[in-house]
A = this chain, B = another copy of it.
Amino acid sequence: MATENINPLNTTIGWIGTGVMGASMCLHIVKRGYKTFVFNRTREKARGLLEAGAIWVGSPKEVAERADIIFTMVGFPSDVEEVYFGEKGILKGVKPSAILIDMTTTKPSLAIEIYNAAKSKGASFIDAPVSGGDVGAKNATLSIMVGGDKDVVERVMPLLELLGKKIVYQGRAGSGQHTKMCNQIVVTGNMIGMCESLLYAYKSGLNIETVLSSISEGAASSWLLNNLTPRIVKGDFNPGFFVEHFIKDMEIALEEASRMNLCLPGLALVHQLYLATKAQGYGRLGTQALILALDSISKAGVFSKRD
């Protein structure tokens, strides 16, 4: 990149990973007028972007050969490794002075590894995972947690601002991923508390809506309690966020915690219960499906998925 200011006229963008999240996010950039090269494992999922003016290329390497700033938004840490370090990966084609931005939720240690590898090629890397789900991606209201070199983050800020509402610099490489882990660890606790409470409410003969009217604003109040309880009551287990992706996140957090010599018994328990949830066939349901596994443990028979 030659200039400090990012300008659609002289900056080319690369985008790798056009799933539910990535496609919505990339579209904001394409619509803003940036020349955007895209790649995805399944080309079909990029169709909307191509119709909006994005340009298809055949591999992450080819994206890297063409773009000044490259976003990645893929699935699992192994996908991130492949996209960056693979035979046809970004680092095989990256331009010196390019900026690479991984928005996948992945391992902080992997973020640091990519940061160092990018640096050795004269390029920069920041980790910038998000929260806010598909709705946040569509409405550009994501929370973006950013780690890396601060001056690099500042240079791409105008692009991040096209994608999210709350963009916070958290510190050196990996800090964005660590912050996302903090978010997910809080969610594990809020989720088990909510699910066990709803089971207790049903079994003791209470009306859940009436219970909520007593407890939803005080010490028990949470985003999850207010947003997921109505879905659970309706038997709606459609994914806002997949069980299997949540398991991935918990496994990253547990691995990092172990590396830091940190015992997190709550996280470990919830992780185990989500393995049960997945084992029961609910891996592609929303995270609120935890209550189905908890229900089955006690054969409570009160919560079930409705079609």
Contact residues in B for A220 (Cβ distance below 8 Å)? 131, 182-184, 186-187, 190, 223
| Stretch of A36-44, A95-103, A203-211 at the chain-chain interface | A203-211
Contact residues in B for A241 (Cβ distance below 8 Å)? 219
Contacts known (A203-B262, A267-B196); A219 close to B215, Cβ less than 8 A = no
Interfacial residues, chain A to chain B (CB-CB below 8 A): 108, 131-133, 143, 145, 166, 168-172, 174-175, 178-179, 181-194, 196-201, 203-207, 210-211, 213-215, 217-225, 227, 241, 253, 256-257, 260-267, 269-270, 273, 294, 297-298, 300
Bound Cα distance A210, B224 (Å): 22
Question: By the criterion CB–CB under 8 Å, are B181 and A189 in contact?
Answer: no
Closest chain B residue to A228 by CB distance?
A: B219
Number of copies of chain A assembled together: 2
A240 → chain B closest CB, angstroms: 8
Question: By the criterion CB–CB under 8 Å, are B171 and A197 in contact?
Answer: no
Judged by DSSP, the binding face of A is helix
Contact residues in B for A184 (Cβ distance below 8 Å)? 220
Question: By the criterion CB–CB under 8 Å, are B267 and A269 in contact?
Answer: no
Contact residues in B for A132 (Cβ distance below 8 Å)? 218
Question: By the criterion CB–CB under 8 Å, are A190 and B189 in contact?
Answer: yes
Question: By the criterion CB–CB under 8 Å, are A214 and B145 in contact?
Answer: yes
> Of the candidates B171, B197, B227, which one forms a contact with A207 in the assembled complex, judged by CB atoms under 8 Å apart?
B171
A250 → chain B closest CB, angstroms: 11
Contacts known (A221-B223, A266-B270); A182 close to B166, Cβ less than 8 A = no
A271 → chain B closest CB, angstroms: 12
Bound Cα distance A215, B171 (Å): 15
Closest chain B residue to A267 by CB distance?
A: B196
Given A174-B204, A192-B266, output 10 extra A-B contacts at Cβ < 8 Å: A131-B220, A170-B214, A171-B206, A178-B204, A181-B200, A189-B191, A196-B267, A199-B264, A219-B227, A263-B294
Question: By the criterion CB–CB under 8 Å, are A215 and B186 in contact?
Answer: yes
Contact residues in B for A196 (Cβ distance below 8 Å)? 185, 189, 264, 266-267
